[in-house]
Structure 1
């Protein structure tokens, strides 16, 4: 039984011969149709004017490259009123005009380039028997990204930022939350650029964003018709940070809890000034209080060691690290703390010069910033202003430099005693306490539940904060924003400074927060796309520019976009 298989690169193409060259690659000779159709007048013509040849790269055969040597005709248009005199055969089913590879190869190039990038795609294509350079792959990617935009208009978008370089330069990503696709990537993060993009898309009805004021203003200017939705995850995280700051004021897990109450308050202000105030008797008193605190901890550690306790047991009782305790036991007297070397990024690096200028009457921040900038200062103006602000406050007569930070209800005694883990005996840090405070009882492990019970028994502040956090989570789970206003009012009048500040900020963005409760949309999809973007950026060793990242992040189109 004989079987005859017919193969053709495309419709209307006749294969003339298939030969193998000396390197093991194959060359397929083919010719086009016997007549052509004019692209202008659509009249069929059989009058041949000449020939043209195209060399197309095709799919491999058993790992060997295949080249299609295609002979096409050039025809004369026989319709006298047509403005075109001659035309060449078009074979869109095989390859686009002027392309150097067939449609199916171009689709594979686009798919691998979009998934792997330039050089990995080049290595994989060579291994598959289709040699192509990384520059061609990237050029194909960029061409595809520039032609994307024929989809249906987006209604619901999520906007978030991502960092080119942390704390230095940021970009903006815009995601279609309904289709779960990246719509665009902007090189910068500014109100103008985001507002202009939103104006070019008037069909947008809902904008989901985090609590960054920049995107709030951009959405108001670029899409005033759209409703804004605050991201629920960021709302919970903002509450957690407020709880952490509040818990940091009561019961710190440091040796400063061994001091009397008045010394604790004094040492707290020493931290608040960040060691940037000029030398004053009041500042010396703060330093003495801090040294006294370290001395008492040092003596406590040595006293426990003399009782025969091991370093591990002392660590469990005091909450300090075992290595720190072992190091302190090697000293007979308390060692002095080492101060880190100052760098040109700190204004204290130029403290002598700034002090002299201050005494001479030159106290304008911009003038001093310009002077130390010429002397090698690489820090920011705001950092210098913080230092000068402490100097100005120190010179005001009769002003109390201690900032009142209430930690519990007004009229109560502050619960400064640190709370220990009932299982390990370690001090519970404010970070752990804040994380447990927003976690519901059903999601707690056995050890976490014990910590929560210990915190509620020993800390009145924690008990109140947990009550507020559970109410806040309940509002989101119930999908009823009507209860939010009562929660904000109670939080403002709770006497907890940081919780009240969080509630006041919520009230300024009340519409977006209510939409976050009532509507199902959030910025989770945008956060996931940012993780994907960072993965791609790191895989390209940080060399990916805005155009290349946009090409890899945008959805791929493989129908009619091919590489030359």
Structure 2
């Protein structure tokens, strides 16, 4: 049965069985077949391609597609495998690689059979994205360790690894360790997007705000607390706040925070944002170094643990941050594909088989590239 309009068409084919009288024939008997309906097939190629595209391009689950097309689950799943085998292959070389992780499922507690201790296991997948081209997701591996990244890269060709000039990551030590493995990526420069740096600064402001309210009130923040009421304004860039909103936030926080730690953390965050903005405008190295020294001095003189941690993190990752400011290589495409990864997992209600999950996730994350390639093949020269 095949969909046709609002209903289905049942194709009935009375196949003839032929007998070969040639003594040297190895088959002797065979039935009629056409390329669209090979031997031992009960579905047409068009139906299988439509079912595979419904899962791989439209991000529909296999069970729902099987029900909609009148197929069994194994038949619909085999159509997805055929699509992946036909469309997905070894990734082509790229000059910029993005690496990021996504959670595969809920944290689980497993008991060690030897010690009897309960250990928490977080299921993660690490994805590799083409940031310089249009290939989308190049592949996925289980885990978020240095070893899994190294293993995936070692499975690629030497030309693929030598062609990578930039690797964009978040401030994750395990990924940085993998990228810096001797001889693995000889021409790669580590890049950390300023998005993650500002996120760390905002996290420091939030941590200080929560701690101050807890120390002063002995509880979590409430609507009556000025710092909690202005929590979103504290995380908004100064240039994005109107003068009225900024003055209201500044006055209320000063009046409620006797230690001035919240505003100190906010100023440190703004100093860091101004530093990043200055470096992106192409300022001289001396001006950037002076602003960076000012940020370090402010954090060191505040005697706030959260700001000391922030300054230490910035100092550790500053070469990679500076590489982003000079090149503009961003990991935004990786974060965007993470949304599709999560959408695919929600559509499937989770994956028990990681190989099937990686196959379907890569199909949905490469649909634009595959559609563009198919269009270019059909256009006349």
TM surpasses 0.5? yes
Indicate the residue corresponding to 2:270 in structure 1. Answer: 470
Equivalent position SS for 2:139: strand
Which of 297, 304, 307 matches 1:493? Answer: 297
Hey, what's the Cα distance between the residues in 2 that align with 1:168 and 1:212? 16
1:149 matches 2:104: no
Question: Do 1:242 and 1:502's aligned partners in 2 also have CA atoms closer than 8 Å?
Answer: yes
Which of 40, 51, 64 matches 1:109? Answer: 51
Pair 464,320 (structure 1): closer, same or farther in 2 beyond 3 Å: closer
Pair 257,59 (structure 1): closer, same or farther in 2 beyond 3 Å: closer
Question: Do 1:157 and 1:208's aligned partners in 2 also have CA atoms closer than 8 Å?
Answer: yes
Pair 526,449 (structure 1): closer, same or farther in 2 beyond 3 Å: farther
Indicate the residue corresponding to 1:223 in structure 2. Answer: 185
**1:117-156 equivalent positions in 2, closer than 5 A:** 117-125=61-69, 131-146=70-85, 148-149=88-89, 152-156=92-96
Which of 185, 203, 206 matches 2:140? Answer: 185
C-alpha deviation, 1:501, in angstroms? 2.9
Indicate the residue corresponding to 2:344 in structure 1. Answer: 536
Indicate the residue corresponding to 1:428 in structure 2. Answer: 227
Equivalent position SS for 2:89: coil
Hey, what's the Cα distance between the residues in 2 that align with 1:541 and 1:456? 48
**1:370-389 equivalent positions in 2, closer than 5 A:** none
Hey, what's the Cα distance between the residues in 1 that align with 2:153 and 2:40? 37
Pair 154,97 (structure 1): closer, same or farther in 2 beyond 3 Å: farther
Hey, what's the Cα distance between the residues in 2 that align with 1:516 and 1:165? 33
C-alpha deviation, 1:248, in angstroms? 5.3
Give deviations 1:180-212, integer Å, cap 9, x for gaps. Answer: 622212122221111121231413222111111
Hey, what's the Cα distance between the residues in 2 that align with 1:224 and 1:153? 14
Equivalent position SS for 2:128: strand
Tell me the matched-pair count.
Answer: 329
- Of 453-462 and 206-215, the range deviating more from structure 2: 453-462
* Structure (1 or 2) with the larger CA radius of gyration: 1
Question: Do 2:226 and 2:252's aligned partners in 1 also have CA atoms closer than 8 Å?
Answer: no
Indicate the residue corresponding to 1:375 in structure 2. Answer: none
1:241 matches 2:49: no
**1:356-435 equivalent positions in 2, closer than 5 A:** 426-429=225-228, 432-433=230-231
Pair 242,106 (structure 1): closer, same or farther in 2 beyond 3 Å: same
Which of 218, 237, 245 matches 1:439? Answer: 237
Indicate the residue corresponding to 2:328 in structure 1. Answer: 520
Equivalent position SS for 2:227: coil
Indicate the residue corresponding to 2:249 in structure 1. Answer: 451
Question: Do 2:141 and 2:152's aligned partners in 1 also have CA atoms closer than 8 Å?
Answer: no
**1:156-167 equivalent positions in 2, closer than 5 A:** 156-163=96-103, 164-166=105-107
Indicate the residue corresponding to 1:211 in structure 2. Answer: 171
Question: Do 1:241 and 1:434's aligned partners in 2 also have CA atoms closer than 8 Å?
Answer: no
1:547 matches 2:355: yes
CA RMSD of aligned residues (A): 4.0
Equivalent position SS for 2:252: helix
- Tell me the TM-score normalized by structure 1: 0.50
Pair 507,68 (structure 1): closer, same or farther in 2 beyond 3 Å: farther
Hey, what's the Cα distance between the residues in 2 that align with 1:432 and 1:184? 42
Hey, what's the Cα distance between the residues in 1 that align with 2:39 and 2:325? 53
Equivalent position SS for 1:253: helix
C-alpha deviation, 1:236, in angstroms? 0.8
Equivalent position SS for 1:159: strand
Give deviations 1:31-56, integer Å, cap 9, x for gaps. Answer: xxxxxxxxxxxxxxxxxxxxxxxxxx
C-alpha deviation, 1:160, in angstroms? 1.0
